[in-house]
Structure 1
Amino acid sequence: TGDAQDIDVVGSKAYVVTKKNGSAGEFFILSLSNPVAPVQQGEYEVGDHVNAVAVSGNFAYLATSKSGEELVVVNISNPSSPTTAAIVDVPNVSQALDVDVSGSYVYFVTPSSTGGGEFYIYDISNPSDPIFKSGFELGSHVYGVYISGSRAYLSSSKVDKELVILDVSNPVSPAEIGSFNIPLAGANGQSIFYAGGVVHLTTRANGGGIAEYYLLEASDPENINLIGSYDVSDRTNGVEAGVGFSLLATEKADEELMIIDTSNPSTPQKVFSLDLEGDATGVALAECYAYFTSADDGEEVKVVAP
């Protein structure tokens, strides 16, 4: 298959997306009845790169690089035979880079656009008929989105705003309520995760001993503070956090998987790393298992257990 790009785990299923995969699919459904030995149940062909996936109920939302089909909604009620539920074409946009779902809305982000913005909200009360609610313009590429409550956390390429926080309580009129410029980091914001008032933000490779993983206190979006950082020494494509630790999907040779101890968030420390035989591209945490996607042809999904 093509290189895996992202993974979402819901219940006993893993949902994996890949780069363009010839005449085969780019969206796969895996059974996790035995979590350490996933079994493919179904696949779906988009015909282009699929960059991210978010699952809610019986539907998967795919952020794709297919022009005219930047967001694809797939009915997964029958895991062995996923089908198209809806396709969203965003004017002036060639691809969607990340996607998240919360309640009755899907949120996705795009590269810098000539009109309409890089952050979009659609009403999915009827997943087969997504309805445009609004777009928000940052004037830069937006690589990651994470929704928590009434706030959207975005990672961007904007020089002075690698983190942007939006109030999305009114879906037709999202408003910026906070931003943060990572000191010294010249690289773009990459992936993002939020929990317990803390934003976990990663960047592309910075070099020169400058970190690629940041913990930011953001419970007050108007007063965001840097808590701590860790120098991965290469691009970090994915992050997910648990209590006292975080998982990083990186491009660091021989250490593509990293586990970081964040019990003292001001001084995060690497406690474990693993060679995945290819760049790590995404990560999902479910119960006591970590699921990583990678560019390792033949083993695109890696399962890590304690």
Structure 2
Amino acid sequence: MIKHQSRTGQSTLEVMVALSILVVCSVALITVVFGNQFMAQYAGQQHDALRVSQEYIEQAKAFAQNNFDALGSSTTSNSGYTNELMVEQIDFLTKKLTSRTTWYVSPGRTSNVELVSIITNWRSLLPDDGTGPGEDPTGEWQCPITAGTVDLGPGNQGTDIVIKDTTVFISGVASASAKPDIYTIDVSDIYSPSEISNINTGKGINSLAINGNYLYAAQNDTANQLQIIDVSNPGAMLLVSSTTLVSSNKPGLSIFEYKHYVYIGTEFGTGNELQIFDVSNPQTPVPIAGLNLNMNINDIYIFDDRAYLATSGFNQELAVVDVSNPNAPTQIDSFDCASQCSGSTQGMSVFAPNTNDIFLGTNSQLVKLSASTTPIQVQGQYNANGAVYDTYARGYLSFLANSNSNKELQIAHIATTSPYLYSSLNFPQMATGVTYRDNVVECTKDLPLSSS
């Protein structure tokens, strides 16, 4: 007799194994499906967050185009996304933008994306016009040294200085009109500067400006006050035009070139003390406008279509003129330093490095002014104990050409609200002009070249 063994237990086991496999596969399938759905959802959220971050970066850039200095950090929430725009000041002209957007992936769990951009205040980028472009001051400016000097000879009083590449141009007023009044100096080696050439344009030059291959000079004479010199070859300067100002018999005191127009200031007289010439053709300057201020215009600096004038006016040592239309200059503001600055009676020099700050040199002080307020307000002031004949601000420092008999070159720290003396150098004669380029200061009277 044959007995059949029961397969009931075995069949039950097989069913359980099959069910287990089915459950595992189902769980895996469900995990894959929902995982894919989550990843797709996350990718979409991430894409939207990147778009939000980019939008805020672009908005910040657009805002900075018109008001770079006012751009600051902010936080904004919209449609489930929170954006943090973090603005970090890198240096005088540069800011770092970090746009971070955060969102909830699930309750209690967040994620974020971040974009970074570096922006520059292009309006404040200094042109290569002889006023000193190049890197900001670095090194030990608390201990500057005199690198080299050039003696222009007896009877020559240096008045102003500009630089182009490795050539410095110095103006002067000599004891005799037959002597040269513009000199070119090779400063490729600051420890051994040497004269290249010189030229005599008349009775002396009080102020210089340069753009490209042309040097613009304010003549110390009652006629031919505007001189234009071709300096494409520094070894052979060529006077290409001499122009008498319109209805003015006063000597030129100051000059500035801006967008192919020359702005020249004179002593107080019957005509316009500020006169504007179109110098598109340097050989034939064309007078186009002027402004009567009834005071000496001792210095001119133009930034962002505003001409800042340092004047002898007792109640407006600084005048601000809108020159966006050179054919119709309009005075839009002024500053009475005599009533707000101790011991100041006239503006001697002026420098405006950006839309917020103005540095006014007076007969005794350096005054830091706020240009972003109306009327102009004092931020701080520093007693130079001498006339500030010229000033140049770069980075955290301002360089002062001064009449102080022990500190003819003064270096002021200007990063704080109130400027203060950072260091100084003592020269045999008073300093009358100053410029800066690539961590080196050049100044007159006898062209001491100073570096940190």
| Class of the TM-score when normalised by the shorter of the 2 chains | over 0.9
What is the SS of the residue equivalent to 1:24? coil
What is the SS of the residue equivalent to 2:174? coil
- Rounded to whole Å, the distance in 2 between the matches of 1:278 and 1:60 is 26
Letter of the 2:404 counterpart:
K
- Rounded to whole Å, the distance in 1 between the matches of 2:258 and 2:252 is 17
Letter of the 1:273 counterpart:
S
**Match of residue 264, structure 2, among 100, 104, 108:** 108
Q: Percent identity?
A: 26
TM-score by length of 1: 0.92
8 Å CA contact 2:368, 2:418 repeated in 1: no
Q: Following superposition, which runs of at least 4 residues in structure 1 exceed 4 angstroms of deviation?
A: none
CA deviation after TM superposition for structure 1 residue 254, in Å: 1.1
Instruction: Give the match for residue 297 of structure 1.
Output: none
Instruction: Give the match for residue 58 of structure 2.
Output: none
Instruction: Give the match for residue 345 of structure 2.
Output: 187
8 Å CA contact 1:26, 1:44 repeated in 2: yes
- Rounded to whole Å, the distance in 1 between the matches of 2:228 and 2:258 is 15
- Rounded to whole Å, the distance in 2 between the matches of 1:57 and 1:267 is 36
Aligned Cα RMSD in Å? 1.3
8 Å CA contact 2:368, 2:378 repeated in 1: yes
**CA displacement, residues 227-278 of structure 1 (integer Å, 9 cap, x when unaligned):** 11001111111100111110111111111111111121x2211111111111
What is the SS of the residue equivalent to 1:30? strand
- Rounded to whole Å, the distance in 1 between the matches of 2:157 and 2:294 is 29
Superposed counterparts of 1:34-49, under 5 Å: 34-49=189-204
- Rounded to whole Å, the distance in 1 between the matches of 2:192 and 2:175 is 23
Q: Which runs of 5+ in 2 are unaligned?
A: 1-152
Letter of the 2:448 counterpart:
K
- Rounded to whole Å, the distance in 1 between the matches of 2:375 and 2:293 is 20
Instruction: Give the match for residue 176 of structure 1.
Output: 331
**Match of residue 390, structure 2, among 231, 238, 246:** 238
Superposed counterparts of 1:182-221, under 5 Å: 182=337, 183=340, 184-196=342-354, 197-205=356-364, 212-220=365-373
Instruction: Give the match for residue 19 of structure 1.
Output: 173
What is the SS of the residue equivalent to 1:195? coil
More strand by share: 1
- Rounded to whole Å, the distance in 2 between the matches of 1:288 and 1:191 is 22
CA deviation after TM superposition for structure 1 residue 122, in Å: 0.4
Instruction: Give the match for residue 6 of structure 1.
Output: 160
- Rounded to whole Å, the distance in 2 between the matches of 1:305 and 1:173 is 42
8 Å CA contact 2:225, 2:252 repeated in 1: yes
8 Å CA contact 1:21, 1:48 repeated in 2: no
CA deviation after TM superposition for structure 1 residue 38, in Å: 1.9
- Rounded to whole Å, the distance in 1 between the matches of 2:351 and 2:191 is 25
8 Å CA contact 2:241, 2:283 repeated in 1: yes
Instruction: Give the match for residue 152 of structure 1.
Output: 307
- Rounded to whole Å, the distance in 1 between the matches of 2:213 and 2:307 is 23
- Rounded to whole Å, the distance in 1 between the matches of 2:287 and 2:269 is 17
Instruction: Give the match for residue 252 of structure 2.
Output: 96
Larger radius of gyration: 2
Instruction: Give the match for residue 261 of structure 1.
Output: 413
- Rounded to whole Å, the distance in 1 between the matches of 2:432 and 2:311 is 17
- Rounded to whole Å, the distance in 2 between the matches of 1:216 and 1:185 is 16
8 Å CA contact 1:237, 1:280 repeated in 2: yes
8 Å CA contact 1:143, 1:189 repeated in 2: yes
- Rounded to whole Å, the distance in 2 between the matches of 1:125 and 1:21 is 34
Instruction: Give the match for residue 239 of structure 2.
Output: 84
CA deviation after TM superposition for structure 1 residue 186, in Å: 4.3
- Rounded to whole Å, the distance in 1 between the matches of 2:212 and 2:189 is 22
Aligned residues: 292
Letter of the 1:271 counterpart:
Y
More helix by share: 2
8 Å CA contact 1:63, 1:98 repeated in 2: yes
